Amino acid sequence: MNATQPLSLIAEEPISNKPPVQEPVVHRRWLADVCLLATATMWGVNIPIVKYSVGEVDAFVFNAVRLVFATIALGIFAWFEARRGQSIRGPFSKSRFAVFAILTGLVYMWMFMFGVTRTTAGNVALLLSSMPMWTAVLSYFFIQERLGRITWIGLAITLSGTLTIVFMGKEKISFSSAYLMGNLFMMCAALTWATGTIVSRKLLFSIGPMTLAFWSALVTTPVHVLSVSYKLIDTLPELMVPRILLATIYSGLFSTGLAYALWHVGVRQLGGSHAAVYQNFVTLVAVLGGWFFLGEQPLTTQLIGGGLIIAGVLVMRQGRKAK
Let me know if residue 10 belongs to a domain.
no
The model's pLDDT over 282-321, given as tens digits with 9 standing for 90+, comes to 878 877 766 665 566 667 787 888 888 888 888 887 766 6
Q: Percent of the chain beyond pLDDT 90?
A: 34
Stronger pLDDT, 26 or 243, i.e. the higher one: 243
Please compute the mean of the pLDDT values over residues 68-93 and round it to a whole number: 87
Number of separate domains in the chain: 1
Please compute the mean of the pLDDT values over residues 209-229 and round it to a whole number: 95
What DSSP designation does 95 have?
A: H
What local confidence, expressed as pLDDT, does residue 168 receive? 74
- What is the phi/psi pair of residue 88, to 5°? -120, 125
Let me know if residue 21 belongs to a domain.
no
| CA-closest candidate to residue 273, choices 242, 232, 319 | 319
- 3-class SS letters over 5-18: HHHHHCCCCCCCCC
What local confidence, expressed as pLDDT, does residue 22 receive? 45
What local confidence, expressed as pLDDT, does residue 320 receive? 64
Contact 239, 65 (CB under 8 A): yes
The model's pLDDT over 269-285, given as tens digits with 9 standing for 90+, comes to 888 888 888 888 887 88
Let me know if residue 295 belongs to a domain.
yes
CA angle 57, 60, 65 (to 5 degrees): 85
Burial per residue of 205-236, b for 16 or more beta-carbon CB atoms within 10 angstroms, e otherwise: ebbbbbbbbbbbbebbbebbbebbeeebeebe
Which residues constitute the domain of residue 92?
Answer: 26-321
What local confidence, expressed as pLDDT, does residue 321 receive? 60
Let me know if residue 7 belongs to a domain.
no
Give yes or no for residue 4 having a pLDDT over 50: no
Give yes or no for residue 45 having a pLDDT over 60: yes
pTM of the model: 0.79
Q: Please provide the average confidence, as pLDDT, over all residues in the chain.
A: 82
Give yes or no for residue 13 having a pLDDT over 80: no
How far apart are the C-alpha atoms of 123 and 294, rounded to whole Å? 21
Let me know if residue 126 belongs to a domain.
yes
What local confidence, expressed as pLDDT, does residue 83 receive? 87
Let me know if residue 20 belongs to a domain.
no
Q: Which of 36-40, 78-82, 195-199, 311-315 has the lowest mean pLDDT?
A: 311-315
Please compute the mean of the pLDDT values over residues 206-217 and round it to a whole number: 92
Let me know if residue 293 belongs to a domain.
yes
Stronger pLDDT, 11 or 316, i.e. the higher one: 316
Contact 205, 21 (CB under 8 A): yes
Give yes or no for residue 121 having a pLDDT over 80: no
What local confidence, expressed as pLDDT, does residue 75 receive? 95
Q: Percent of the chain beyond pLDDT 70?
A: 85
What local confidence, expressed as pLDDT, does residue 323 receive? 54
What local confidence, expressed as pLDDT, does residue 170 receive? 63
Give yes or no for residue 47 having a pLDDT over 90: no
What local confidence, expressed as pLDDT, does residue 319 receive? 66
Contact 10, 198 (CB under 8 A): yes
What local confidence, expressed as pLDDT, does residue 172 receive? 65
Let me know if residue 31 belongs to a domain.
yes
